[in-house]
A and B are shown apart, each in its own frame.
Chain A
């Protein structure tokens, strides 16, 4: 089962390299989604399905969809519409699609064979994560909250539009 870990790691590295080398932001974002999905698969192979699911829902789902929306809404107008249709040609989505398909095959294989703790670790379910977060790592959880607060205040200050 270690082979699954290595394949998804390779997909993660490859897609991340593609993210930073793409000139078009939307193309880069597509690869970034694949990169996050592959990290989620790595979490599955390491026996942390809950974190893997969160990775898919929060990063690849919510945050990335938000990114893509913002990106598309910033380019409004006729010219942008033409630009957008030029983005949606097979050449640009075939790469991410192939990588995502590899991850999908891995996932199906893992589910079918029923052994999703490839690396030989104990499986950590949602309950264990919750108990850990609110008991032994409570201080860490609060600190993470403070970290987000600092980011929020900073984004508010730096991204604020002047009234005049």
Chain B
């Protein structure tokens, strides 16, 4: 490997090194604050190193990884999300557990795994990145090991993720059997060279591949784990599962489909359309019946991935732009929503029942306003980032005349509005205030991150030009 390869890989190397530094530091002397500071420094250093890596673009590092502006864009997004999760996690872990430092090690490793995912154009690095992410997630989801729900969620995720990995591996094996290569470009050449493109191996391989990817994305037939895992996992981890693990897989899927020109493949597109429709309907309708805010958000995230799939199916430049934009918006909003749940946790546990939010506005006005903003953005109301995201998804859908999907998207969004508004209405409903019911102050660092996320939400909603320009500059390179 040449020196340029190391420069291009610098963000990944720094992430791995940061995990080792936190590990060694806590082996010498356990200190929660130091672990957090080292983690944030590591994430910041990785972020800064991206600007140096940007000089080498695009660079294929061995056969496994490609560092291009698309990979760097999503790596930046992952680092940003990991930073927010680390800060939210600090407040949360302070309340509950003795062993806190391990959380940051696995958080850094999970970010490394997802960064590898978005940079891979080879099945081997894809699978290794996915497994690093998944193994770290088992630990993070079950991190509250004295809490039965957390452990239950961890075991559920362990079994189902292992099964989905088996599907994915078998899919890769079939594709390899037919094409004789594991590089995305090589597969594209092999498929393009065949006269009979619709070979059964390719079809079955891609289908199994989609099962594995669909599990990570938590789209409709593969969504069963989502509510339980979201409910049981510690709130900061839920934020990570909902954003980073899904976002990284969506970015990889997009890269793969563009590389092999999967949008030409009508059978696969039909399957994806069915998945999208099922996700939008199931997610939004099942969310209506929930009384638990974490479960509502879990079902809503299933629906959101359905929306992303609509843009995905559109294919071409529009799809890349809309999916990336929607992912950024979804990251900001979901991190904010689960961040609020983790900030509101106290000694008695997380506040995830809808009832505990009743009249919250009159006790904690600022955080209630921020939560309302997040929920309105998830609903896609104008002036919030969610609206811009949904607008671009619709644009991509209309541009390729996917009328059925677009109409279903609009209908299900309208259904979705109801349960978001229900949470907001609960927060603003009048209750008799007891005099001594003075809520404690919220942690400073977490509140600052939350304020930042809320400002981003409004900024992207009101003036999205910068974001769109950034996406056009960085992401469209692959299409």
Contacts and interface: CB of A to CB of B under 8 A. Distances in A.
B132 A156 contact: no
A137 interface: yes
B106 A137 contact: no
Interface in A106-140: 136-140
Name the residue in B19, B62, B125, B128 with the highest tally of chain A Cβ atoms < 10 Å from its Cβ: B128
B129 interface: yes
Given A147-B131, A147-B135, A154-B138, A142 B99 contact: no
B254 interface: no
A121 B21 CA distance: 44
Contact of B139 (A136, A137, A139, A154): A154
A76 B136 CA distance: 34
Contacts, number: 73
A151 interface: yes
B62 A139 contact: yes
A158 to B, nearest CB: 6
B258 interface: no
Interface string A39-60: 0000000000000000000000
A151 B135 contact: yes
B63 A143 contact: no
Given A154-B138, A157-B102, A157-B139, A146 B64 contact: no
B143 A150 contact: no
A160 B112 CA distance: 25
A3 B453 CA distance: 62
A149 B109 contact: yes
Interface in B70-127: 99, 102, 105-106, 109-110, 112-113, 116, 124-125
A113 to B, nearest CB: 26
A144 interface: yes
A140 B182 CA distance: 13
Given A143-B116, A144-B128, A149-B109, A157 B136 contact: no
B422 interface: no
Given A137-B64, A143-B116, A153 B132 contact: no
A147 B139 CA distance: 12
Nearest to B100: A157
Interface residues of B, number: 34
B145 interface: yes
A157 B143 CA distance: 8
Main SS class of interface, B: helix
B23 interface: yes
Given A138-B1, A153-B105, A146 B65 contact: no
A150 B109 contact: yes
A160 B139 CA distance: 13
Contacts of A153: 23, 102, 105-106, 109, 139
A136 B61 CA distance: 9
Nearest to B109: A150
Contact of B16 (A140, A146, A154, A160): A146
Contacts of B61: 139
Interface string B1-22: 1000000010000001001100
Given A149-B19, A154-B138, A136 B132 contact: no
Nearest to B132: A147
B129 to A, nearest CB: 7
A143 B128 contact: yes
Nearest to B135: A150
Contacts of B63: 136-137
B142 interface: yes
Contacts of B132: 143, 146-147, 150
B106 A154 contact: yes
Contacts of B9: 139
Nearest to B131: A147
Contacts of A137: 62-64, 124
Contacts of A138: 1, 62
B71 to A, nearest CB: 14
Given A150-B109, A157-B99, 11 more contacts: A137-B63, A139-B61, A142-B16, A143-B116, A143-B125, A146-B132, A149-B109, A150-B106, A153-B109, A156-B102, A157-B143
List 3 tightest A-B contacts by C-beta distance, closest first. A154-B139, A143-B128, A157-B102
26 contacts: A136-B63, A137-B63, A137-B124, A139-B64, A139-B125, A140-B124, A140-B125, A142-B16, A143-B116, A143-B125, A143-B128, A143-B129, A147-B131, A149-B20, A150-B106, A150-B109, A150-B110, A150-B139, A153-B23, A153-B106, A154-B135, A154-B136, A154-B138, A157-B143, A158-B142, A158-B154
